[in-house]
Amino acid sequence: MDIRQLRYFVTVAEEANFTRAAARLHLAQPGVSAQVRQLEKELGHRLLDRSGRSVTLTEVGGAVLPYARAALAAVEAVRQTADEFTGLLRGHVTLGLVSGAAAAAHEFDLASVLAGFHEDHPQVEIALTEDTSERMLIAVDRGELDVAVIGLADEEPPPGISAQVLVDEPLVAAVAPGDPVLTPPDRTCIPLAELRERPLISLPRGTGLRAVLDRACAQAGFRPRIAFEAAAPPFLAQLAARGLGVAVIPELSAGEASALGLRTLEITEPRLRGRAALVWRTDGPCSPAATVFLELLRTGLTAPERLAVSAPRAVVPPRPPCR
């Protein structure tokens, strides 16, 4: 019996699937399966029931699991204690990033923050993954991710989760010139109810922006007609510019809208906002490396010197009164 076998067993038990466990461990599935079988052979008992569609714990497996987790925690504590005496930071950290939040990267330079952390702590492995906001929150809550950048749909994060808002901007309806909603031509806003029968272009379900849109439409008494879905707001804007529908996206500057051949209208009644946030477990990450990583993200993603190196966005003047 070795630590690897215990780690593989715990991961399979948590994922209830060998393929997902192997992906989480960044290993080939046959190797994980073989090591778990070897552990079962050494113990003389089956720990996992593989007969169903998902892998479940046997009675013995359920009894062994807490001890396997405790053994892994003890090994990690030994490493951390030794590292404290040498001042060495090592291990691994996991960062989740939702595609919609990645598209808001003009507000911060995540790549530079990651590069800076790697330069300062080369012994720490950084794992980056993309998923929906909903699944990211679950993964953070379970401890599968140390921290994530997500689209935040609610004013407050779920219980047990802390958040730091990185981007908070209005959502607008972007349309091609000549679209019927541009009547009168000088209008600057549109009530949400007017989009009831229009084909909409939006981020997929599971993203924070889409959750904001779906919830607002439900409160207004209708289900949005989603004609196109895509993970990146810039592509949504391109679809709208081709006359394929009304894109619900974060606010564009006048220059950006003009360059794309779009007109934008503020969505009102209610006004909608898109927010990207850094989230982590309220009780903190489980390792010193993750704690340092989180603190760097909390300061680095908002510090002026960490802003993106791309050309700054044009200043958006205050919107005139809605008409």
105 versus 2: the higher-pLDDT residue is: 2
Do 138 and 181 fall within a single domain? no
Q: What does pTM read for this prediction?
A: 0.63
Question: Residue 312 falls within a domain, yes or no?
Answer: no
Do 143 and 283 fall within a single domain? yes
Do 266 and 173 fall within a single domain? yes
CATH code of the domain covering residue 147:
3.40.190.10
Do 231 and 282 fall within a single domain? no
Do 147 and 101 fall within a single domain? yes
Question: Residue 313 falls within a domain, yes or no?
Answer: no
The pLDDT of residue 218: 94
100 versus 251: the higher-pLDDT residue is: 251
Do 250 and 289 fall within a single domain? no
Mean pLDDT of 215-237: 91
Question: Residue 322 falls within a domain, yes or no?
Answer: no
Question: Residue 314 falls within a domain, yes or no?
Answer: no
Q: Flag whether pLDDT at 113 surpasses 50.
A: yes
Q: Flag whether pLDDT at 15 surpasses 80.
A: yes
Do 195 and 107 fall within a single domain? no
Q: Quick: pLDDT tens for 136-189.
A: 899 999 888 999 998 888 778 888 999 998 888 899 999 999 888 888 888 889
Do 158 and 178 fall within a single domain? no
Number of domains in the chain: 3
CATH code of the domain covering residue 209:
3.40.190.290
Mean pLDDT of 70-93: 73
High-pLDDT (> 90) share of the chain, %: 42
201 versus 312: the higher-pLDDT residue is: 201
Q: Flag whether pLDDT at 307 surpasses 60.
A: no
Binned at pLDDT 50, 70 and 90, residue 313 comes out as very low
Q: Flag whether pLDDT at 246 surpasses 90.
A: yes
88 versus 191: the higher-pLDDT residue is: 191
Q: Quick: pLDDT tens for 271-293.
A: 999 888 899 999 877 678 888 88
Question: Residue 229 falls within a domain, yes or no?
Answer: yes
Domain that holds residue 54: 3-86
Binned at pLDDT 50, 70 and 90, residue 309 comes out as very low
Per-residue three-class SS string for the chain: CCHHHHHHHHHHHHHCCHHHHHHHHCCCHHHHHHHHHHHHHHHCCCCEECCCCCCEECHHHHHHHHHHHHHHHHHHHHHHHHHHHHCCCCEEEEEEECHHHHCCHHHCCHHHHHHHHHHHCCCEEEEEEECCHHHHHHHHHHCCCCEEEEECCCCCCCCCEEEEEEEEEEEEEEECCCCCCCCCCCCCEEEHHHHCCCEEEECCCCCHHHHHHHHHHHHCCCCCEEEEECCCHHHHHHHHHCCCCEEEEECCCHHHHHHHCCEEEEEECCCCEEEEEEEEECCCCCCHHHHHHHHHHHHHCCCHHHCCCCCCCCCCCCCCCCC
